[in-house]
Amino acid sequence: MTALDLGLIRKTARGTSHGGAAPHSLDRMTDLQIARRTVIFTVDAAGITSLVDAARQDIPGLTTNEIILSVVNHNPDTFWAIARRDRFNIAAPRGEGFLAVLPLNHEGTRRLIDGSLDTKKPELRCIARQCERPAGIYVWCIHAKGSIAAGIPLVLQKFSTPLYQGVSIYSRPVTKEGLRVLEPLGFSPGAHYDGLFAPHLQMLDRSDDLPPLKAVPRDPVTVEVVRSMEGMAQVIAVRGAVYMGEQRCPFEEEFDGNDFSATHLVCHKDGEPVGCLRIRYFAGFAKLERLAVRDEFRGEGLAKRIVGAAIELCRKKGYGVLYAHAQKRYLPFWEARGFALMGNREFVFSDFDYVEVKLEIGGHPQSITLHDDPYVIIRPEGRWDAPGVLEKSVSRGVRPAADLR
């Protein structure tokens, strides 16, 4: 779906390509001199609605505002407003046109190529979230008339960041103008992905833009959510060594009956379990507890890593307040993490004195809500940014129900 100025794009692209060849690298697109006169930026729901309503005059059959807003809420990188620089007011940004894309995951890209993806009403489970690497990027809609059409390469340049580098871009022009505008940007007829081919799509093949693989030093320390009995056994071993062995806490006090209603984090160093923490959830807050690091691994900043991972997990779950019971001798540690003493209540259990501490945290931009795709909500704890095993089961389809009468 496109409405734009073709001559300007073609003229600009010819002026920067060598020997008349279309530039195939998005990095080279930024050399378009006229693009310097345009600005691209994100807008709020009201701004999106205004731009899309204006586009309907030129693009019949454009999908509903509700669908576009749901996609943008799922991944804010899907909608970019375009304006002329000399008319742009940073205090009150207002777009003159826009480009919208669908960053598709593996299933979504396959469905795009085989024709089963409803691009007018795309399922959110087919769209990658903001921090996920997509398998393909579909140019969903362009409305860029006159000189602001020069902002299109700037929007596409956004998809040259490491997260998107090497991901091919697809389009389905519905007009001759839409078909011809893509050519100077490097698109060519026909699209392929995962052994499938679609002659009706245009494709900017960016597989050659993948950077060479570089050896990344492995971090010897990891903090992960416990997802197996083996992981739980490691947590029990660490807590047994620290609380029962060192602090002489009775077994029934250490393993208090709350372990099966909580999330556990386990910290490894070079594969060896060295620390852990437990998180329990209440209506308005999450409680961090049972933080433990084995004696021989203390002084290496592991407790800080564990608490940091716990804070990030709780943010993604949508919690804004974290609460903990801190042994008085360790109060400086919690304060260094941003926790503040709550009043003057002091109390004792298992032979140590404690105080209450609280941390108010800002919401995570990708926190899980009831409006998220159901496949995201059923992903493994802490791994909401990557497709889970239940999503892979979709390929099996629906099994006929057995008659149990």
In angstroms, rounded to a whole number, what is the distance separating the alpha carbons of residues 268 and 274? 5
Question: Same domain for 135 and 90?
Answer: yes
Instruction: Confirm if 266 and 299 have CB atoms less than 8 A apart.
Output: no
In a domain? residue 378: no
Q: Tens place of pLDDT for every residue, the chain, 405 residues?
A: 444 433 333 443 444 444 444 444 444 444 444 456 788 888 899 999 999 999 988 887 889 999 999 999 999 999 999 988 888 787 778 888 999 999 999 999 999 999 999 999 999 989 998 888 999 999 998 888 877 777 777 787 778 888 888 899 999 876 555 555 666 778 888 899 989 999 989 899 988 776 665 667 888 999 999 999 999 999 999 999 999 999 999 999 999 999 999 999 999 999 999 999 999 999 999 999 999 999 999 999 999 999 999 999 999 999 999 999 999 999 999 999 999 999 889 999 999 999 999 999 877 777 888 888 888 888 899 888 777 888 778 777 777 766 655
pLDDT at residue 251, rounded to an integer = 96
Question: Same domain for 226 and 328?
Answer: yes
pLDDT at residue 403, rounded to an integer = 61
Residue span of the structural domain in which 85 resides: 2-209
In a domain? residue 375: no
pLDDT at residue 13, rounded to an integer = 42
Question: Same domain for 154 and 242?
Answer: no
Number of Cα atoms under 13 Å in the Cβ half of residue 68: 24
In angstroms, rounded to a whole number, what is the distance separating the alpha carbons of residues 229 and 254? 18
Cα 198 to chain centroid distance, Å, stands at 28
Contacts 24+ apart (CB under 8 A), 178-184: 178/1, 178/2, 178/142, 180/6, 180/10, 181/2, 181/4, 181/6, 181/9, 181/10, 181/142, 181/149, 181/152, 183/10, 183/22, 184/9, 184/10, 184/12, 184/13, 184/14, 184/17, 184/22, 184/23
Q: Which of 187, 209, 231 is at the close of a domain?
A: 209
In a domain? residue 13: yes
Q: Tell me, what CATH number does 87's domain have?
A: 3.40.630.30
In angstroms, rounded to a whole number, what is the distance separating the alpha carbons of residues 224 and 220? 13
Question: Same domain for 138 and 196?
Answer: yes
pLDDT at residue 12, rounded to an integer = 38
Question: Same domain for 126 and 243?
Answer: no
Number of domains in the chain: 2
- CB under 8 Å to 323, separation ≥6 — which residues? 285, 286, 287, 288, 342, 356, 357, 358, 359
> What is the SS3 string spanning 19-55?
CCCCCCCHHHHCCCHHHHHEEEECCCHHHHHHHHHHH
Question: Same domain for 193 and 225?
Answer: no
Tokens of 292: 């433990």
Cα 265 to chain centroid distance, Å, stands at 22
In angstroms, rounded to a whole number, what is the distance separating the alpha carbons of residues 338 and 361? 9
In angstroms, rounded to a whole number, what is the distance separating the alpha carbons of residues 342 and 118? 53
